[in-house]
Amino acid sequence: MPNNPGSAATMSDSAPRPGRAMDVLRVASGNFIEMYDFMVFGYFAAAIGSAYFPGSSELGTLLKALATFGVGFLMRPLGAIVLGAYTDHHGRRAGLIVTLALMSVGIATIAFTPGYAAIGIAAPLFVLLGRLLQGFSAGAELGNVSVYLAEIAPPGKKGFYVSWQSASQQVAVVFAAMIGVVLGMTMSVDQLADWGWRIPLGLGCLIIPLLFLMRRHLRESDLFAARTTRPTMRQIMRHLWVARARVLTGMAMVLMTTVSFYMITAYTPTFGKLLHLPERANLLITAGVGLSNLIWLPLMGALSDRIGRTPILLACTILAILTAYPAMAWLAASPSVTKLLLVELWLSAIYASYNSAMVVHLTEIVPEEAGASGFSLAYSLATAIGGFTPFVVTALISATGNLAMPGVWLTAIAAISLAAALYSRRYSRA
């Protein structure tokens, strides 16, 4: 991919609003498919586990599927470094097209691999390979999108613009959940478990050509196009090593985002089953959480432009520490659909408000010379931990018999992110 400034039209603050809005849509579209695929895997973890990881117990099969869901996150740091460096050298547009291509192969692999009954041990190995490839590409996707949006944002609106990285993911949460609801209404339980779970993955594959078409017309950011030098992999690695304290601080801040997000979205259908609540209601609640996130994210992103990032970061982490376990304990004492909805919406407000300030703050503390790499590495290291949240909380519940254990996990993580948010102020360029 050519990397000279003339290889793509550039963006300036004088660009007309419709053009800038289209660039936000184009860059966020690929982010949608990345999260859509992760959500589908999380929503149908039990069915995917039965297809690829047969075991002696339903819980054992579920844990294997959730472990496979989580293992893809272990590839994110490697993808962050390799693909982030590619983006910092060749351009935001080039990097975003590469990550979309790799994500496409990953989702197709999981969608079309036959089950264990058909090809034996090769089935879970192919699924694992697909998850690893998805994790590798996703390692740089969020960083590429966030840095690009920060670079094209008009002065004083960076928080609002960058919030659309996360907002596009919420569209995926809602879309995947509603597909699950429709499938649950039109198919029997056996049909859904046997082959119906492949339908949403197939739909994701059908959307991919449109996303490629949209990203092909993405304009390079002025800030990147104006650079006279492009760092090599060795130079980027040096920048990251020098800025390792910033990256690790950013990782600790991101932990709150990844743990809370996967807890209230991908894990909700599984958690609802453990609470013995109706499956359709669990998916509808998940869709409601996605809508709630979608509303809070841009609003709080805009607020962070007015009052700063730190007040929001501190308020949200403290609220999580004080309320996560009590809310979960209240739900676990006598589970109901209404209680699950209220708890999830409360955690949604905390997550989305925190994330709206955290993501843009992260773009402001990583080294400018390796913006995509630094952001992606910090985010991916955190996601390598937070992505295992469905597995961790299920294992904690299994070990203790306490259905409120997700609250303990979130409380501990929020305490770490609170300390990191306080420490990060020394690095901010805002």
Q: What is the number of domains present in the chain?
A: 1
158 assigned to some structural domain: yes
For 266-325, how does the pLDDT look when each residue is reduced to its tens digit (9 = 90+)?
788 889 989 999 988 988 998 899 999 999 999 999 999 999 999 999 999 999 999 999
11 assigned to some structural domain: no
First-last CA distance in the chain: 32
359 assigned to some structural domain: yes
For 78-96, how does the pLDDT look when each residue is reduced to its tens digit (9 = 90+)?
888 888 888 888 887 888 8
SS3 percent helix, strand, coil of the chain, rounded to 5, is: 85, 0, 15
CA distances from residue 391 to 13, 62, 64, 211, 270 in whole angstroms, order as listed: 45, 9, 9, 31, 10
317 assigned to some structural domain: yes
Q: In DSSP terms, which residues pair with 10 in a beta bridge? A: 220
Q: Name residues whose C-beta falls within 8 Å of residue 62's C-beta, 6 or more positions apart in sequence.
A: 45, 46, 49, 270, 394
Is the predicted pLDDT of residue 174 greater than 80, yes or no? yes
Q: For tokens 């869709």, what's the residue? A: 287
For 217-233, how does the pLDDT look when each residue is reduced to its tens digit (9 = 90+)?
777 777 777 777 777 87
CB 356 within 8 A of CB 301: yes
Question: Residues of the chain with pLDDT > 90: what percent?
Answer: 30
What is the H or E stretch that residue 351 is in?
helix 337-365
CA distances from residue 344 to 150, 179, 260, 408, 414 in whole angstroms, order as listed: 29, 20, 10, 15, 16
Domain with 376 in it? 16-424
pTM: 0.78
Mean pLDDT, to the nearest integer, of 380-404? 89
Task: In whole angstroms, give the CA distance from residue 160 to residue 48.
Answer: 37
Backbone angles phi, psi at 232, to 5 degrees: -85, 170
Q: How confident is the model at residue 421 (pLDDT cuts 50, 70, 90)?
A: very high
332 vs 147, which has greater pLDDT? 332
pLDDT value at residue 252: 96
321 assigned to some structural domain: yes
Question: Residues of the chain with pLDDT > 70: what percent?
Answer: 94
Helix (H, G, I), strand (E, B) or coil at 7: helix
63 assigned to some structural domain: yes
Q: For tokens 């050298």, what's the residue? A: 89
Is the predicted pLDDT of residue 18 greater than 70, yes or no? no
- Output the domain CATH number for residue 289: 1.20.1250.20
pLDDT value at residue 420: 96
4 assigned to some structural domain: no
Task: In whole angstroms, give the CA distance from residue 268 to residue 283.
Answer: 8
* DSSP class per residue in 37-80: HHHHHHHTHHHHHHHH---SSHHHHHHHHHHHHHHGGGGHHHHH
CB 396 within 8 A of CB 408: yes
* Residue 401 φ/ψ region, left for φ over 0, alpha for ψ in the -120 to 50 degree band, beta for the rest: left
Backbone angles phi, psi at 262, to 5 degrees: -70, -25
9 assigned to some structural domain: no
Q: How confident is the model at residue 14 (pLDDT cuts 50, 70, 90)?
A: very low
Task: In whole angstroms, give the CA distance from residue 371 to residue 429.
Answer: 13
